[in-house]
């Protein structure tokens, strides 16, 4: 878990068999990048999925940054009401 903005919490889950990281409601790109980069190094893992529980900008704000940085290596999982530009 990591805090972002004033009152939000992001989560990162490690799937141990595949060494995949799953980020939930990443929010702020820079804050999530610090946390995920550290986990990738220390756990020898890689961010593979971002789960967005809902479309509020404080929860999906970092999605676009991750897509730009990682491209198809990161899959964004979200409901059908998510803006297409985030998919």
44 CB neighbour count, 10 Å cutoff? 8
User: What pLDDT was estimated at residue 81?
Assistant: 55
Range of the domain at 8: 2-86
Choose among 35, 8, 27: nearest CA to 65. Answer: 27
Residue 1 has pLDDT above 70, yes or no: yes
Quote the number of domains for the chain: 1
15-38 pLDDT, tens per residue? 999 999 999 988 889 989 999 999
- What is residue 79's three-state secondary structure? coil
Return the pLDDT at 13.
Answer: 95
Q: What is the CATH number of the domain that holds 74?
A: 3.60.15.10
pTM value is 0.80
């Amino acid at each position: 878990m990591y805090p972002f903005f004033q009152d939000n919490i992001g989560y990162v889950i490690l799937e141990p068999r595949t060494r995949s990281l799953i980020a939930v409601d990443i929010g702020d790109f820079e804050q999530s990048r610090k946390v995920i980069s550290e986990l990738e190094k220390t756990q020898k893992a890689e961010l593979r999925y971002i789960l967005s529980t809902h479309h509020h900008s404080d929860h999906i704000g970092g999605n676009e940054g991750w897509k730009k940085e990682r491209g198809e290596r990161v899959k964004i999982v979200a409901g059908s009401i998510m803006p297409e530009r985030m998919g």
